[in-house]
Amino acid sequence: MSRSAHPAGPRHADVLHEGHYAAPPADLNALDEKVWSRTVTRDADGALTVGGIGVARLAEEFGTPAYFLDESDFRARCRAWSDAFGGDADVFYAGKAFLSRAVVRWLQEEGLNLDVCSGGELTTALDAGMPAERIAFHGNNKSLAEIERAVGLGVGRIVLDSFQEIVRVAGAAQRLGRRQRVQIRVTVGVEAHTHEFIATAHEDQKFGIALAGGQAAEAVRRTLTLDSLELIGIHSHIGSQIFDMAGFEVSARRVVQLLAEVRDEHGVELPEIDLGGGLGIAYTSDDDPREPHEIAKALSDIVTRECEASGLATPRISVEPGRAIVGPTAFTLYEVGTIKPLEGLRTYVSVDGGMSDNIRTALYDAEYSVALVSRTSDAEPMLVRVVGKHCESGDIVVKDAFLPADLAPGDLIAVPATGAYCRSMASNYNHSLRPPVVAVRDGEARVIVRRETEEDLLSLDVG
């Protein structure tokens, strides 16, 4: 078959898939702290508050749909990651999860570094004052202009992703009279247990240079011959939304093996290894993520053990969490528009956003939770599918969940854990206006990314 397609409805409107909540939760009004940001609670009237502010006020002031980001939670998670790894490791926040100038400033204040993967992310970082030497530049097809700019600015490291890029970065550094610090991204042959589109270290995909067949060793060989490059280490990122540490262990072991081969062949001990990001978060109560200190301990134990076995000094470790820092810190607030009970199936609840503010459900079959947040309710649970307002039957925000049966148009519902890869992957599909991101902290709320306007749309359309 030269192409595959699925008809508009059936793939999404199928019977309940395996692993979904078989039964409604015991208490529909409860807010599971695993999936909600840390300052979220219900006030005396039962309405959800974040950073001390109630959702009714937030909806009135900022409109819906909107993302509300719990700033103190974001900062606490940054600190938890850097404390967990201590002074012997570097934490690079992966900006692709969500990046704005305010976020860049918080990262600096909390002592984190930043991973960017495009000229746009680089511009945002620099504009908000992130020092270039604290930036890592990623991407499997960086343009020549992006490379020249990154080298010219003196970014702390460029992660080389292909043989062509070794030559391109070396050329740019030579032209600019610089010696650029680089890492080589390798694919270690680990099949991470996650969705195919977000697994990145098995061999049949576009990122990195394979350890298999001596490819990565050859990349090291070539890089070491180029005077304008300083090879500081090896990089591996195995995928996203991963709970099982086994994949990281195999990855760390294989990267250390490569370091040992490099020492044996070239007499050089590379000083760093980067184990990437990809740590999972709780989207529903069924998910059980690991804490940063457990992850740090597991990773540093394995690296130390493997290095001792190979007689290598332990390299400095870096990690690149994106989702694990920002994901749990935000929720999306929607207003209920229409409610359509489908006899014997489920009730479709349409909200004022959809796949334009959260593409993850349509793209990865991602699971989310949802709660009625403008009030509590004692009504019976009803099985719902929360859908958006786009012209697409796959426009689903939450596939299967329970909401109270007295849900009514005008109620506010919220989807937690939307801090990562929701605003950053948002689109203007159907000429919708991308929602704002509002940071909430200690009783104050401020817009950090404003809502798009129709003027924004028209300003790009030059007629």
418 binds ligand LLP (CB under 6 A): no
Per the structure block, which two tokens stand in for 98?
A: 């969500």
Around 199, how many Cα atoms within 13 Å sit in the side-chain half-sphere?
Answer: 15
320 binds ligand LLP (CB under 6 A): yes
Q: Which is nearer to ligand LLP, 138 or 346 (CB)?
A: 138
294 vs 353: CA distance, rounded Å: 37
Question: Residue 177 contacts by C-beta under 8 Å, 6 or more apart in sequence?
Answer: none
138 binds ligand LLP (CB under 6 A): yes
Q: Which is nearer to ligand LLP, 280 or 436 (CB)?
A: 280
| Nearest distance from C-beta of residue 414 to ligand LLP, angstroms | 19
Inter-residue contact 170 to 228 (CB < 8 Å): yes
277 binds ligand LLP (CB under 6 A): yes
| Nearest distance from C-beta of residue 360 to ligand LLP, angstroms | 5
Among 321, 328, 404, 436, binds ligand LLP (CB under 6 A): 321
DSSP-derived secondary structure letter, 302: H
Residue 230 annotated in ligand binding: no
DSSP-derived secondary structure letter, 337: E
Directed axis angle between helix 144-153 and helix 119-127, to 10°?
30
Residue 77 annotated in ligand binding: no
Helix (H, G, I), strand (E, B), or coil: what is residue 269?
coil
**How far apart, in Å, are the Cα atoms of 163 and each of 30, 193, 222, 357, 447?**
53, 28, 9, 37, 43
157 binds ligand LLP (CB under 6 A): no
Residue 156 annotated in ligand binding: no
135 binds ligand LLP (CB under 6 A): no
Cβ atoms within 10 Å of 69's Cβ, excluding its own:
28
Q: 196 to 255, contacts with ligand LLP by CB under 6 A? A: 198, 237, 240-241
| Nearest distance from C-beta of residue 161 to ligand LLP, angstroms | 9
Residue 364 annotated in ligand binding: yes
Span of 58-66, 142-150, 249-257, 315-323 interacting with ligand LLP by CB under 6 A? 315-323
Q: Reply yes or no on whether 391 is catalytic.
A: yes
Residue 249 annotated in ligand binding: no
419 binds ligand LLP (CB under 6 A): no
Torsion-angle region of 208 (φ positive above 0: left; ψ -120 to 50: alpha; else: beta) = left
Helix (H, G, I), strand (E, B), or coil: what is residue 116?
strand
Site string for ligand LLP, 361-400 (x = CB under 6 A): ---x------------------------------------
DSSP-derived secondary structure letter, 425: G
Listed residue (331, 255, 298) closest to 37, CA to CA: 331
Cβ atoms within 10 Å of 213's Cβ, excluding its own:
9
Residue the block writes with tokens 């909806």: 59
421 binds ligand LLP (CB under 6 A): yes
201 vs 367: CA distance, rounded Å: 23
C-alpha dihedral sign at 403, 23, 27, 62: negative
| Nearest distance from C-beta of residue 135 to ligand LLP, angstroms | 13
142 binds ligand LLP (CB under 6 A): no
Catalytic residue among 78, 117, 307, 391: 391
**How far apart, in Å, are the Cα atoms of 241 and each of 92, 227, 309?**
17, 38, 30
Site string for ligand LLP, 34-73 (x = CB under 6 A): ----------------------------------------
90 binds ligand LLP (CB under 6 A): no
115 binds ligand LLP (CB under 6 A): yes
Site string for ligand LLP, 334-363 (x = CB under 6 A): --------------------------x---
Q: How many helical (H) and strand (E) elements, i.e. helices and strands, does the chain have?
A: 12, 21
Classify residue 342 as exposed, middle or buried by CB count within 10 Å of its CB (0-12, 13-18, 19+): exposed
DSSP-derived secondary structure letter, 196: G
77 binds ligand LLP (CB under 6 A): no
Binding-site ranges for ligand LLP (CB under 6 A):
94, 96-97, 115, 138, 198, 237, 240-241, 276-279, 320-324, 360, 364, 420-421
Instruction: List the binding residues for substrate.
Output: 323, 360, 364, 392, 421
**Annotated binding site, which residues?**
278, 320-323, 360, 364, 392, 421
Residues forming the active site: 391
Query: Binding site for pyridoxal 5'-phosphate, residues?
Result: 278, 320-323, 421
